[in-house]
């Protein structure tokens, strides 16, 4: 069966207006074209839908039954088209983004705020997660995109660099290294070292080893969250080293940051998406805003 949307619209318009003339005006077609659409519909359905008599136009019993179904089909179609237009025009939608805790609390909030100001009908759902979990959440479709330090990625993942963040030494404000203009890694590693996850430790060790085989990390603590690391440093359990973005968190712990040298180490922060999945208009708009904010961030 090959019933068309034009045929349904013609039949519903005639049924509602009880007039071929008025229905033709509503649909911007000629009366002859309208009559042909209804005739083709009846031929396709093999049933008569309406009668013309001395008292005007009337629906047959089959036509009255069919009108309910035809009206529902057109309403559902119009709703679907309207919904797609709203998604396209960023008038509704959901963006799911995962981000490592540090950048979820420093870089991401302003992006979310600016996006919501421009697109108040879009819902942004932020899932802060450990570095190791970002790519997995993207792969299983739990989120649309992720923001995390650069890392080896499978072919299915697209990575776009955002900005580089320098690694600084973190120590209590009264520590002997606190007032130095810079600290070498050799100086820093003379003290007990508080590290984050094994992923963070192994990547930092790789950076250090590429400069000198004598720079070895032997963390006294390996924790999951920055607040835990800073609490341990505050209590005198050791020193740590974290990206520059963490500076805004230090005052509440009584800590300070000091630039590290020999070597200078940066973390490249990137945004990750699935190559085989087209982002929704809302997610694509958020993705582009992240890129814009990262460009400004890199200049600051």
CATH of residue 137's domain is 3.40.190.10
CB 242 within 8 A of CB 117: no
Point out the domain boundary residue: 88, 114, 148: 88
Q: What is the pLDDT of residue 259?
A: 96
Q: What is the pLDDT of residue 92?
A: 60
d(CA 239, CA 219): 10
Residue among 47, 116, 142, 53 at smallest CA distance from 286: 116
CATH code of the domain covering residue 32 = 1.10.10.10
61/120 same-domain check: no
157/277 same-domain check: yes
Mark the ranges of the chain whose per-residue pLDDT is less than 70: 1, 54-55, 82-92, 300
Quote the number of domains for the chain.
3
Q: What is the pLDDT of residue 89?
A: 53
pTM above 0.85, yes or no: no
Q: What is the pLDDT of residue 197?
A: 86
262/116 same-domain check: no
- Token pair belonging to 19: 């007039």
CB-based contacts of 229, cutoff 8 Å, min separation 6? 194, 195, 196, 221, 223, 240, 242
Q: What is the pLDDT of residue 90?
A: 57
3-state secondary structure of 64: helix
Q: What is the pLDDT of residue 82?
A: 67
10 Å Cβ neighbour count for 217?
16
d(CA 240, CA 227): 12
- Write out the residue range of the structural domain in which residue 118 sits: 93-162+268-299
Q: What is the pLDDT of residue 152?
A: 87
Cis peptide before 263 (omega within 30 of 0): yes
């Amino acid at each position: 069966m090959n019933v068309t949307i034009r045929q349904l619209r013609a039949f519903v318009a005639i049924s509602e207006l009880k007039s071929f003339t008025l229905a033709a005006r509503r649909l911007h077609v000629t009366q002859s074209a309208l009559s042909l659409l209804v005739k083709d519909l009846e031929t396709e359905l093999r049933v008569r839908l309406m009668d013309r008599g001395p008292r005007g136009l009337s629906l047959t019993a089959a036509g009255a039954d069919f009108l309910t179904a035809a009206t529902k089909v057109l309403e559902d179609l119009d709703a679907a088209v309207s919904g797609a237009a709203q998604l396209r025009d960023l008038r509704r939608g959901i963006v799911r983004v995962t981000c490592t805790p540090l950048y979820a609390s420093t870089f991401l909030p302003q992006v979310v705020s600016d996006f919501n100001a421009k697109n108040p009908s879009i819902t942004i759902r932020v899932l802060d997660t450990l570095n190791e979990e970002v790519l997995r959440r993207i792969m299983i479709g739990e989120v649309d995109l992720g923001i995390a330090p650069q890392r080896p990625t499978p072919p299915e993942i697209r990575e776009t660099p955002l900005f580089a963040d320098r690694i600084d030494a973190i120590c209590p404000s009264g520590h002997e290294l606190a007032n130095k203009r810079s600290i070498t890694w050799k100086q820093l590693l003379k003290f007990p070292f508080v590290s984050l996850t094994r992923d963070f430790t192994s990547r930092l060790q790789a950076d250090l080893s590429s400069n000198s085989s004598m720079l070895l990390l032997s963390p006294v603590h390996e924790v999951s969250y920055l607040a835990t690391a800073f609490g341990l440093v505050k209590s005198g359990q050791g020193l740590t080293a974290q990206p520059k973005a963490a500076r805004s968190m230090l005052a509440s712990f009584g800590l300070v940051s000091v630039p590290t040298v020999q070597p200078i180490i940066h973390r490249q922060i990137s945004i990750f998406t699935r190559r085989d999945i087209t982002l929704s208009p809302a997610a694509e708009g958020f993705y582009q805003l992240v890129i814009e904010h990262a460009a400004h961030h890199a200049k600051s």
